[in-house]
Amino acid sequence: MTHATFAVVGHPNKGKSSIVSTLARNDAIAISPRSGTTRSADSITVKTTRSAYELVDTPGFQRPGKVLSWLQQHARSADQRASAVAALIQDKECQKRFPDEIQLLTPLVNGAAILYVVDGSRPYGAEYEAEMEILRWTGQPSMALINPIESEAHVEAWSSALAQYFKTVRIFNPMQADFDKQIELLSAFAHLKPEWSKTLRLVTEDLIASRLAQKEKSAVILARLLEDLCLYQTSQKVLSQSQAEKIQPVLAKTYQHWMRNRERQSIQELFAVYDHFHTSLSIDDLNLPPDLFDCEQWYMWGLSKQQLATVGAITGAAAGAAADAMVAGQSLMLGTIGGGLLGFGSAWLGANKLVDAKIKGLPLGGYEACYGPIKNKNFPYVVIGRFIYLHQQVSHRNHAVREAMQVNAVVLSEQISSLEKSAQKELHAACNQLVKQKPAENLAALLTPLFE
């Protein structure tokens, strides 16, 4: 085997596929509570910028005792054991009797290293010894991984048993292991076979670099989203003023629809950056409770009233006015978008409003009804707050996790106050520019530190 290859083997239903899924960052691999989900040895290539390695997902042992007896009858001494395993996978009768063992042993006979997976929440039992013995007979480099599926109750007993068969024994939880733990495990793989250590070192270096790149890409996605949402407006030309007034609520709907879709699109892009492509992460399952236009949630997603006032002072606007605008904006928004739509021409339009809405007379006759852009000072922060929180969830979500993602509120203000004072000021200035529909320079770069 030219590639560094690792076959993930063990008892059925112990998280083998989960480990492959998390390490390969692949959410398409079949994982289920049903024993015997993986039916054949499936090789997955993990490609990085400069390197690659293979993980082979395999079915679990079904008849290890019988297989070991067969092997014992076909090898008289230790030097014949690896050949006995090779003979087993060639044997027509064995292929019929032990299809799962044939699948899982084939990559090992072809040179793959062994990752033996056990469940640390279940007691150790002598019945595993046949499996470990068979694996030892292959003569391949090996490591045992204890997956504490429900608890760590039996980790100690397992460690002491496994240490007799495997030089390296590690605890690895595919659902919870964070990026650093995954990198640590990969680094340990590098010690299994000296010929593979360079390949694997490159893999880990590349993964660390791409982790940084993912944050930068996310900041770019957010910067584009912010610009688009802050600048968006929609309009329609009509003949009379009364037509313009009638069409205003329709424009308001178009406006919200576009804004929500634009946010969803950016979330989809974010998922793709982190290699989450499959159903469990579809946006409809996302359960993103506070709607973008649910203003009651805005102080939670964006800044608090007090902070907005402070920001007003920082960016030069009158402090009191900023806070007032927010309060007015919030109640008005609820009256219009949250509840039934008020007709155009209502008194609130002249006051501090959330979204700009006007009717213009056109020079050559006729009228134009316009809806947007957003006027609320908290709006950019709300967009940032939501996106940063989603990012936190998506970037830490292991690919073996299949439950729908739950998203709750985040405290953006804390994140912002952890930035350097000058970075905070620049970010506030940029948000202030955006709500004035003016370009904010270096927006992605200003946002990047929020993704740490």
Ligand X SMILES: Nc1nc2c(ncn2[C@@H]2O[C@H](COP(=O)(O)OP(=O)(O)OP(=O)(O)O)[C@@H](O)[C@H]2O)c(=O)[nH]1
- 8 A C-beta contact, residue 361 and residue 283: no
In the complex, minimum distance from the CB of residue 5 to Mg ion, in angstroms, rounded to a whole number = 17
In the complex, minimum distance from the CB of residue 8 to ligand X, in angstroms, rounded to a whole number = 8
Residue 240: half-sphere exposure toward Cβ, Cα within 13 Å: 3
Could you tell me the maximum CA-CA distance found in the chain, to the nearest angstrom? Answer: 101
In the complex, minimum distance from the CB of residue 109 to ligand X, in angstroms, rounded to a whole number = 20
Which one of Mg ion, ligand X, none is in contact with 115 (Cβ closer than 5 to 8 A by kind)? none
List residues near ligand X by CB under 6 A.
12-18, 31-33, 35-38, 59-60, 147, 149, 173-175
Q: Looking at beta carbons only, is 97 or 122 nearer to ligand X?
A: 122
Helix, strand or coil for residue 299?
helix
Q: Looking at beta carbons only, is 16 or 154 nearer to Mg ion?
A: 16
Which one of ligand X, Mg ion, none is in contact with 64 (Cβ closer than 5 to 8 A by kind)? none
Which one of ligand X, Mg ion, none is in contact with 330 (Cβ closer than 5 to 8 A by kind)? none
Span of 37-45, 61-69, 227-235, 301-309 interacting with Mg ion by CB under 5 A: 37-45
Residues 6+ apart with CB under 8 A from 98: 62, 63, 66, 67, 88
Q: Cα separation of 47 and 299, whole Å? A: 43
- The distance in angstroms from the start CA to the end CA of the chain is 39
In the complex, minimum distance from the CB of residue 18 to Mg ion, in angstroms, rounded to a whole number = 8
Planar angle of CA 217, 223, 225, nearest 5 degrees: 105
Which one of Mg ion, ligand X, none is in contact with 376 (Cβ closer than 5 to 8 A by kind)? none
Residues 6+ apart with CB under 8 A from 316: 432
In the complex, minimum distance from the CB of residue 39 to ligand X, in angstroms, rounded to a whole number = 8
Span of 32-40, 147-155, 166-174, 223-231 interacting with Mg ion by CB under 5 A: 32-40
DSSP designation for 342: P
CA distances from 83 to 74, 88, 165, 403, 430 (A): 9, 9, 20, 44, 69
Q: Looking at beta carbons only, is 42 or 205 nearer to ligand X?
A: 42
In the complex, minimum distance from the CB of residue 151 to Mg ion, in angstroms, rounded to a whole number = 21
Which one of Mg ion, ligand X, none is in contact with 320 (Cβ closer than 5 to 8 A by kind)? none
DSSP designation for 233: -
Contact between 37 and Mg ion (CB under 5 A)? yes
Q: Nearest-CA neighbor of 385 among 353, 416, 355?
A: 416
**Residue 71 is encoded by which pair of tokens?**
């092997």
Q: Looking at beta carbons only, is 41 or 322 nearer to Mg ion?
A: 41
Q: Looking at beta carbons only, is 115 or 259 nearer to ligand X?
A: 115
Query: Can you give 66-78 as a three-state secondary structure string?
Result: HHHHHHHHCCCCH
- 8 A C-beta contact, residue 169 and residue 146: yes
**Residue 181 is encoded by which pair of tokens?**
């733990």
Which one of ligand X, Mg ion, none is in contact with 33 (Cβ closer than 5 to 8 A by kind)? ligand X
Which one of Mg ion, ligand X, none is in contact with 14 (Cβ closer than 5 to 8 A by kind)? ligand X
Among 5, 38, 413, 448, the residue binding Mg ion under the rule CB under 5 A is 38
Which one of Mg ion, ligand X, none is in contact with 26 (Cβ closer than 5 to 8 A by kind)? none
In the complex, minimum distance from the CB of residue 7 to ligand X, in angstroms, rounded to a whole number = 12
Q: Of residues 99-138, which lie at the interface with Mg ion (CB under 5 A)?
A: none
Q: Looking at beta carbons only, is 59 or 380 nearer to ligand X?
A: 59
Question: Per this entry, what is the length of the chain?
Answer: 452
Distance of CA 258 to the CA centre of its chain: 25
Q: Looking at beta carbons only, is 16 or 353 nearer to ligand X?
A: 16
Residue 324: half-sphere exposure toward Cβ, Cα within 13 Å: 7
Residues 6+ apart with CB under 8 A from 447: 219, 222, 223, 226, 384, 427
In the complex, minimum distance from the CB of residue 103 to ligand X, in angstroms, rounded to a whole number = 11
**Residue 89 is encoded by which pair of tokens?**
């996978």
| β-pair type (355-361, 367-374) | antiparallel
> What is the total count of residues that contact Mg ion (CB under 5 A)?
4
Q: Which residues pair with 234 in a beta bridge?
A: 371
Pattern 1-20, Mg ion, x by CB under 5 A: ---------------xx---
Q: Looking at beta carbons only, is 27 or 426 nearer to ligand X?
A: 27
Which one of ligand X, Mg ion, none is in contact with 276 (Cβ closer than 5 to 8 A by kind)? none
- 8 A C-beta contact, residue 374 and residue 354: yes
Q: Looking at beta carbons only, is 37 or 268 nearer to ligand X?
A: 37
Which one of Mg ion, ligand X, none is in contact with 240 (Cβ closer than 5 to 8 A by kind)? none
Please report, as ranges, the residues that interact with Mg ion according to CB under 5 A: 16-17, 37-38
